[in-house]
A and B are shown apart, each in its own frame.
Chain A
Amino acid sequence: MSNNPSELPILQVRNLKKYFHVSKGTLHAVDDISFDIRQGKTLGMVGESGCGKSTTGRLLVRLHESDSGSIRYDGIEVTRASSKEMKVLRTKMQMIFQDPYSSINPRHTVASIIGEPLKIYKKVRNMQEYEEKVHQLMETVGLADRLYDAYPHELDGGRRQRIGIARALALEPQFIVCDEPVSALDVSIQAQILNLLMDLQDKLKLTYLFITHDLSVVKHISDDIVIMYLGQIVEQANTEELFRHPIHPYSQALSSAIPVPRLNARKERIILKSEVVSPIDPKPGCRFAPRCNYAKPECGEADPVLREVMPGRLVACHRAEMFV
């Protein structure tokens, strides 16, 4: 992350934790993570299923209550905000969900889904203003006017995701959590939505937290990246630096696993041992150690701390110096 004081973070997360109590024990979904998001930039959050990336996104907009730690958005402590403060915060922070099939109400028309936040927050004075605003939002995200009274089932996944984006934009937020917004879409439609999100960011000066498991997407859209593994951040860096030289052994494996659709791009895959261990009551020590090709006995003893191993490069690995 940048140390440049002119690039103030709009969002600061410190020592955030969220545990879920399940029948087998305590699931450490988010386990002591800290990061910043710079204003007007995109932070990509990458990791495999169950690493806690969606939980983190939900904690930021307070769809889950955190167990401990702090989330400061523009100087306001989100975790302790009163319901009145939350109401103001929700106009500034919005979320776009993964599945455009289940995240919008099938019984509402396109216009009423997009316009609902305007009514709840009384952002419009009369019906005419409401309709104008909804038409304007539809135009912004590239939905044809004729779909104003259509129902979601009449539309394909790409258009449904556009509805989700228009709804998130209705209150003119500054910060949007995008939770796998293109994962359910075909590549050609995925490209249309990615272009739209990037254009909107330019035009409306938006800040994104972009959660995804798709590394080529995150590489394309993000300025900075955090890589998560079983509830913890294992590496954090500027996107270009991270892909040029991944330091953490998990980042190296992930980066090598991106299938590149070009001839002569076939590369040596780093094949990891076994599978992800359970995030329920994890043992002390590095959580990646059981799969790591470089693990030493000491890796299983103490938790690695996220530390700066090179200027601007934060890595949580006991043996990070080996890979610098």
Chain B
Amino acid sequence: MDKILEVKDLHVHYFSNRKTVRAINNLSLDMQRGRVLGLVGETGAGKTTLALSILNMIRAPQGKIISGSIRFDGKDILAMSKQELRELRGKDIAMIFQDPMTALNPVLTVGDQIAETIFKHEKVSKDEAWAKAEKMLETVGIPGARAKEYPHQFSGGMKQRVVIALSLACNPRLLLADEPTTALDVTIQAQVLDLMRHLIRTYNTSVLFITHSLGLVVENCDEVATMYAGEIVEYGTVEQVFGNPLHPYTRGLFGSLPDYSEGAARLRPIPGLMPDPTNLPRGCYFSPRCPHVMPLCEELHPTHTSMDGHLVKCHLYQENANVEQPI
């Protein structure tokens, strides 16, 4: 299949108090064109750092992309000039942030914010940009006349619709949606996701859908990647991963969910906590919490094992592998 994004051997570090936070560790990930990839993991797993890296927005001196490559439609994002990046961001790759309250500029009308993006990226006049901004608002279910209003005049769900209109205004090829509905109430979340699904299909946009909710992944994604301590520990189609979760961490996530263990009186949480990213364990990063830990796990960091495209980074599966290949 046609790849829209190829991340290879990515390492991203943050620096604080003379300590190095290893946020992304040797991460490789491919995204297929026109598909929705769910990225799941807990706070601190590095999900947002990955999204920011794809936009080459890791700020020095606090953070740095140490090594690796990110190719978008064949072009290396990490080698782009400032001018090329300005054209890329907002046009080819757009991002929806978690919190719609802070993603919008409070002193500009929502119409101005959407029109500005269109005006910067497309060869149109200011009036045409404004007209298109009104049309985008209508696409997300907001009357065009409200383009003259300021963000504080909208409710939370409406603001997130504005953010979606803003991100899709230039018809991006890749959309990075970072927890787009986490700040919203469930019935509003259902509305916003319904809208997003419809727009993604209409525009044939490829989406990286970042979430901590496995329930949202199964309903909205084609593929899924589980992230733990800065690396992808499992990757596959939704059918593969939900039908047969392989990595003990993915299984632990399922066991932690109240709805999944329906009927069971107790949840089966993962013991312990995420490792300290300034001091990661030597072997497998998950080994201190893993119920299946073996002596090998504490010594050697596992590599990816593939079973019909279902990838897992765990020593338990290393011998059963038919093909070994990095993703």
Least Cβ–Cβ distance between A211 and chain B, in angstroms = 14
Whether B194 contacts A269 by the Cβ 8 Å rule is: yes
User: What DSSP secondary structure best describes chain B's contact surface?
Assistant: helix
Chain A residues within an 8 Å CB radius of B185: 48-49, 213, 276
Chain A residues within an 8 Å CB radius of B271: 192
Whether A259 contacts B266 by the Cβ 8 Å rule is: no
Whether A263 contacts B155 by the Cβ 8 Å rule is: no
A101-109, A250-258, A302-310 - the one binding chain B: A250-258
Contact with B along A230-274 (1 / 0, CB 8 A): 000000000000000000000001101111111101100111100
Least Cβ–Cβ distance between B318 and chain A, in angstroms = 25
Whether B216 contacts A259 by the Cβ 8 Å rule is: yes
Give A194 to B273 CA distance when docked, in angstroms: 16
Decide: A259 near B218, CB < 8 A? Known: A187-B256, A188-B252, A191-B256.
Answer: yes
Contact with A along B164-207 (1 / 0, CB 8 A): 00000000000000000000011111110010000000000000
Whether A276 contacts B155 by the Cβ 8 Å rule is: yes
Least Cβ–Cβ distance between B219 and chain A, in angstroms = 6
Give A195 to B191 CA distance when docked, in angstroms: 32
Give A186 to B189 CA distance when docked, in angstroms: 19
Whether A191 contacts B269 by the Cβ 8 Å rule is: yes
Whether A262 contacts B187 by the Cβ 8 Å rule is: no
Which residue of chain A lies nearest to B238 when distances are taken between CB atoms in the complex? A263
CB < 8 Å neighbour of A261 from B156, B214, B266: B214
Which parts of A196-214 form the interface with B (CB within 8 Å)?
198, 213
Chain A residues within an 8 Å CB radius of B257: 187, 191, 216, 261
Does A156 interact with chain B (Cβ within 8 Å)? Answer: yes
Chain A residues within an 8 Å CB radius of B214: 261
Whether B42 contacts A261 by the Cβ 8 Å rule is: no
Does A124 interact with chain B (Cβ within 8 Å)? Answer: no
Does A283 interact with chain B (Cβ within 8 Å)? Answer: no
Give A298 to B42 CA distance when docked, in angstroms: 47
Which residue of chain B lies nearest to A291 when distances are taken between CB atoms in the complex? B187
Whether A216 contacts B216 by the Cβ 8 Å rule is: no
Decide: A188 near B215, CB < 8 A? Known: A195-B266, A213-B186, A254-B186.
Answer: no
Whether A260 contacts B215 by the Cβ 8 Å rule is: yes
Least Cβ–Cβ distance between B179 and chain A, in angstroms = 13
Whether B259 contacts A258 by the Cβ 8 Å rule is: yes
Give A271 to B198 CA distance when docked, in angstroms: 13
Does A143 interact with chain B (Cβ within 8 Å)? Answer: no
Chain B residues within an 8 Å CB radius of A188: 42, 252-253, 256, 269-270
Does B140 interact with chain A (Cβ within 8 Å)? Answer: no
What is the total of A-B residue contacts with beta carbons within 8 Å? 114
Does A115 interact with chain B (Cβ within 8 Å)? Answer: no
Does B119 interact with chain A (Cβ within 8 Å)? Answer: no
Does B74 interact with chain A (Cβ within 8 Å)? Answer: no
Chain B residues within an 8 Å CB radius of A253: 187, 190
Give A275 to B185 CA distance when docked, in angstroms: 10
Give A192 to B158 CA distance when docked, in angstroms: 35
Give A272 to B242 CA distance when docked, in angstroms: 29
Which of under 10, 10 to 19, 20 to 34, or 35 or more describes the interface residues of B? Answer: 35 or more
Give A49 to B185 CA distance when docked, in angstroms: 7
Does B239 interact with chain A (Cβ within 8 Å)? Answer: yes
Whether A195 contacts B267 by the Cβ 8 Å rule is: yes
Least Cβ–Cβ distance between A23 and chain B, in angstroms = 15
Give A186 to B249 CA distance when docked, in angstroms: 14
Decide: A263 near B267, CB < 8 A? Known: A187-B257, A219-B259, A254-B187.
Answer: no
Which residue of chain A lies nearest to B156 when distances are taken between CB atoms in the complex? A49
Does B130 interact with chain A (Cβ within 8 Å)? Answer: no
Give A190 to B213 CA distance when docked, in angstroms: 13
Chain A residues within an 8 Å CB radius of B212: 186-187
Whether B268 contacts A48 by the Cβ 8 Å rule is: no
Does B15 interact with chain A (Cβ within 8 Å)? Answer: no
Chain B residues within an 8 Å CB radius of A192: 269, 271
Give A257 to B194 CA distance when docked, in angstroms: 11
Max chain A C-beta neighbours (<10 A), residue from B155, B187, B252, B267 = B187
Least Cβ–Cβ distance between A203 and chain B, in angstroms = 14
Least Cβ–Cβ distance between A192 and chain B, in angstroms = 4
Give A179 to B86 CA distance when docked, in angstroms: 45
CB < 8 Å neighbour of A191 from B155, B156, B268: B268
Does A220 interact with chain B (Cβ within 8 Å)? Answer: yes
Chain A residues within an 8 Å CB radius of B191: 271-272
Least Cβ–Cβ distance between A175 and chain B, in angstroms = 22
B interface with A by C-beta (< 8 Å): 42-43, 155-158, 185-191, 194, 212-219, 238-239, 242-243, 252-260, 265-271, 273
Q: Which 6 residue pairs are nearest across A and B when measured between Cβ atoms?
A: A259-B215, A191-B269, A220-B258, A261-B214, A191-B256, A48-B185
Listed by A's residue number, 11 A-B pairs whose Cβ atoms lie within 8 Å are A48-B188, A188-B269, A190-B269, A191-B256, A257-B190, A260-B218, A262-B218, A272-B190, A272-B191, A275-B158, A291-B187
